[in-house]
Amino acid sequence: MKFFVDTAEIDAIAELHDLGMVDGVTTNPSLIMKSGRDILEVTKEICDLVDGPVSAEVVSLEADDMIAEGRKLAKIADNIAVKVPLTWAGLKTCKILSDEGHMVNVTLCFSANQALLAAKSGATFISPFIGRLDDINIDGMELIADIRDIYDNYGFETQILAASIRTVNHISDAAKIGADVITAPPGVIKKLADHPLTDAGLAAFMKDWAKTGQKIL
């Protein structure tokens, strides 16, 4: 499973990148707003840091404008994945840009039928939003499972990029189902290493080690 980091904060990306945990990055207009940075500048910096796909999202609602924005974003670097919303205009943009050889991430997916359309329009990634479905009492993980079944039934190569990840359980559940990628905030990825029994075990080892009076270095 690939790990993408869902942020436009360079320091947070760099910290996880140094640990080998970053296979790609996803951004969206809200994350660009939170970073306080210019979209073209910060996206270029992220692309310089990370080898894998870096999603940068268009903000127009009409296909012609989306296509123009997507082409401009794609010029930032070879590893840009143009992110488009799951609307008919977004799907048209996806088809045109993917035919031109660009990676496209179709975002704001909330149903299996939407995911089917994205695959047919040539999307590189489909981004189902797990947490936002859970927010309205619909099981986001069931959507990931349905998309996995549908894509496998027909051999679609579009990668399932589980997004709107809020908890560490979302990550292990998505991995069990076979999502190709998760994108999660840096804080959630860092929590994957936490376990109270690890902390308790380490504390006990340190206590006993102190009693030996020994040093390794």
- List residues with catalytic annotation: 83
- CA 95/CA 202 separation, integer angstroms: 53
Contacts of 182 (CB under 8 A, 6+ apart): 1, 2, 3, 4, 161, 162, 163, 165, 170, 171, 174, 175
Stretch that binds ligand G3P, among 16-24, 117-125, 127-135, 189-197 (CB under 6 A): 127-135
Alpha carbon 171 to its chain centroid, in Å, reads: 11
Shortest distance in whole angstroms from residue 94 CB to ligand G3P: 16
Q: Are strands 181-184 and 2-6 parallel, antiparallel or unpaired?
A: parallel
26, 93, 114, 158: residue in contact with ligand G3P (rule CB under 6 A): 26
Tell me how far CA of residue 55 lies from CA of 136, 142, 185, 193, in angstroms.
26, 25, 14, 26
By CB under 6 A, tell whether 164 contacts ligand G3P.
yes
| Type of residue found at 76 | I
Q: Does 173 bind ligand G3P (CB under 6 A)?
A: no
User: Among residues 26 and 43, whose Cβ is nearest to ligand G3P?
Assistant: 26
Residue 136 or 206: the one with the smaller Cβ distance to ligand G3P is 136
Segment near ligand G3P (CB under 6 A); pick from 16-24, 152-160, 162-170, 206-214: 162-170
Closest residue to ligand G3P, based on beta-carbon distance: 164
* Least CB distance to ligand G3P at residue 204 (A): 37
Q: Which residue has the tokens 């905030």?
A: 185
Q: Which of 3, 7, 22, 28 binds ligand G3P (CB under 6 A)?
A: 28
Rounded CA-CA distance 11/17 in Å is 10
- Closest contact distance (angstroms) between CB of 172 and ligand G3P is 17
Q: Using CB under 6 A as the criterion, which residues of the chain lie in contact with ligand G3P when the complex forms?
A: 6, 26, 28, 129, 131-132, 163-164, 166, 183
